[in-house]
Structure formats: C-alpha cells, structure tokens
C-alpha cells in the first residue's frame, strides 16, 4: 500500500513541477510576444503612410504570384492528382450508394444507360461494350476511352449499396 502512495506522491510531484514549468514558459512566451508586437507597432508608426501602402501592395502582389505559381504547379502534379483520386475513392466507400443511384437517375434516363467518350458522369462504374473492362468514376468526370481497348462506348453498371 505504501508503494502505491509513493507512486501517487511521485506522480503528483512530477505533475506539479510540469504545470509550474508550463505556467512559467507560457507567461514568458506571452511577454516576449507582447514586446515583439510593441516593436512592430513602433516601427510601423515611424513609417510614412506611403511606405506602408507600398509594402501592402508588394505583399499582395507577391501573394497573388505565389498563389498562381502554386496553382499552375498543382494542376500538373501527378502526385496531387493521385491524392485527389484516392480521396474521392475513400469517400465513395462511405457513401450511401442508394442515394447516389437516385441522384444519377435523371442522367441515366437521359443517356438510356449508354455513355460515350466525352460524356459527363457523376459517379459510377462504366463497362466497355467491346471488352467488358470496368472503369470506376468517383466524382463528376468526363468519360475517357476504354483503357484496355480504346473503344468509346460504355454502359453504366448499377451501384450496389
């Protein structure tokens, strides 16, 4: 029994030391942050308005350029494309397939179950009419030629809940 009490006392002592350490460091960090903010404010007050506006305009321009460059690189990234497809595939696993079937019904009627390369499909499995190769679509996409035989005619297979 005394061993348990010693363990509890030891744990309590360690917890106390840790909490005091956190309290001290948080207070120190907060004071350092406040002092740094004061320095920034004093420096900003010393700058003429024209310089501040120029800084803001330059920063906005740089951020826009960075965004455009990142966007262009992301569009051509194989890794990000695969990551996006994997994300959609994982979402499809937890989707209520019966609800998807109802939402796809209007397109299904319009297409009579037949799809061709270039058509838009929301979600589902297309089966090549020539070689029976299945192509899964996890989000709205343009139908591509069969990866197996390059034929362009498909029928949509019903989703099983």
107: nearest Cα among 118, 86, 122, 127: 122
In a domain, 126, yes or no: yes
119: pLDDT strictly greater than 60: yes
Q: How many domains does the chain have?
A: 2
Burial class of 122 by CB neighbour count within 10 A (0 to 12, 13 to 18, 19+): middle
Say if residues 129 and 155 touch (Cβ distance below 8 Å): yes
In a domain, 38, yes or no: yes
User: Residue 157's pLDDT is what?
Assistant: 81
Same structural domain, 136 and 100? yes
Same structural domain, 68 and 111? no
In a domain, 81, yes or no: no
- How far is it, in rounded angstroms, from Cα 36 to Cα 42? 10
Q: What mean pLDDT value characterizes the chain?
A: 77
132: pLDDT strictly greater than 90: yes
151: pLDDT strictly greater than 90: yes
Least confident window among 22-26, 27-31, 135-139: 22-26
Higher-pLDDT residue of 52, 97: 52
pTM above 0.85, yes or no: no
89: pLDDT strictly greater than 90: no
Strands 153-157 and 114-116, bridge-based pairing: antiparallel
In a domain, 122, yes or no: yes
Helix (H, G, I), strand (E, B) or coil at 92: helix
Determine the average pLDDT of the residues in 28-38: 78
């Amino acid at each position: 029994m005394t061993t348990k009490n010693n363990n509890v006392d030891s744990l309590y002592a360690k917890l106390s030391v840790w909490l005091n350490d956190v309290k001290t460091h948080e207070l120190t960090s907060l004071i350092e942050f406040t002092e740094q903010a004061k320095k920034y404010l004093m420096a900003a007050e010393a700058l003429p308005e024209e310089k501040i506006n120029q800084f803001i305009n330059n920063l906005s321009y740089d951020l826009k350029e960075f965004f455009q460059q990142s966007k262009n690189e992301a569009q051509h990234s194989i890794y990000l494309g695969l990551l996006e497809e994997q994300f959609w595939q994982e979402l499809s696993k937890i989707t209520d397939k019966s609800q998807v079937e109802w939402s796809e019904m209007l397109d299904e009627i319009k297409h009579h179950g037949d799809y061709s390369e270039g058509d838009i499909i929301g979600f589902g499995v297309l089966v090549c009419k020539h070689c029976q190769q299945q192509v899964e679509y996890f989000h709205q996409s343009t139908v591509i030629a069969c990866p197996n035989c390059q034929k362009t005619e498909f029928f949509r297979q019903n989703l099983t809940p």
